[in-house]
Amino acid sequence: MNEIVMTAYKCVKITLLVFGCMLSSYAQSNFSSKVIGVGVVVADLERSLEFYVNGIGMVRTSSFTINEDFGKRSGLTNGVATDVTILKLENSPEATDWKLMSFGKKAAHPKPKVIQDDTGMQYITIQVKALQPVIDRLTQMKIPFLGSTPTPLNAKAHFVFVQDPDGNFIELIGPLQ
């Protein structure tokens, strides 16, 4: 189970389909939702909430507790209780669940510097209507930007790359204004 938690913790490579996704008719018939919920284990829940809510602009939508009994029976935590805070890009049922939880310890692996430093999920992509407000908030929070930011992708869109407090890479794409 620790490998699964560590994989989620490392924020393995996944592109969140923020504004909905089109599934193949075969896949769509097998799933009851088009939303993927992502569980992220963080070292410091309050620090991560500050980053995602005040920096990125996500909204806190709900929370729940994984109790000792369910954690053990389900194989999630081997009997350790934890609180889970759900963030979304907007408060709607169609928005992806970004589920943050902490067990009060730091990662057992070094913080990656670039996506090829490790295997598995390495980054998420968030499409925004305007990058400049996010850039301004992250700058005010003294969050370092990776590479030459913002990087133009085309005539309308730019690319910004940052890491959350635990080293998970966040790719932000959209027009500057």
Q: Are strands 82-88 and 151-152 parallel, antiparallel or unpaired?
A: unpaired
- Could you identify the residue written with the tokens 């109790």? 67
What CATH number labels 2-174? 3.10.180.10
Distances (CA, A) of 95 to 32, 42, 103, 123: 14, 21, 26, 18
Model confidence pLDDT, tens digit, residues 79-116: 999 999 999 999 999 999 999 999 989 888 888 999 88
Mean pLDDT, residues 130-153 taken together: 96
pTM (2 d.p.): 0.80
Give the Cα-Cα-Cα angle 155, 174, 152 (nearest 5 degrees): 45
Model confidence pLDDT, tens digit, residues 71-81: 999 999 999 99
- Say how far apart CA 78 and CA 60 lie, in whole Å: 27
- The answer to whether residue 34 scores a pLDDT higher than 60 is yes
Average pLDDT, the chain: 86
Using DSSP, state whether 150 is helix, strand or coil.
coil
Q: Say what the pLDDT of residue 2 is.
A: 43
Band (pLDDT 50/70/90 cuts) for residue 11 is very low
Neighbours of 86 (CB within 10 A): 19
Using DSSP, state whether 107 is helix, strand or coil.
coil
Name which residue leads in pLDDT, 173 or 12: 173
- The answer to whether residue 120 scores a pLDDT higher than 50 is yes
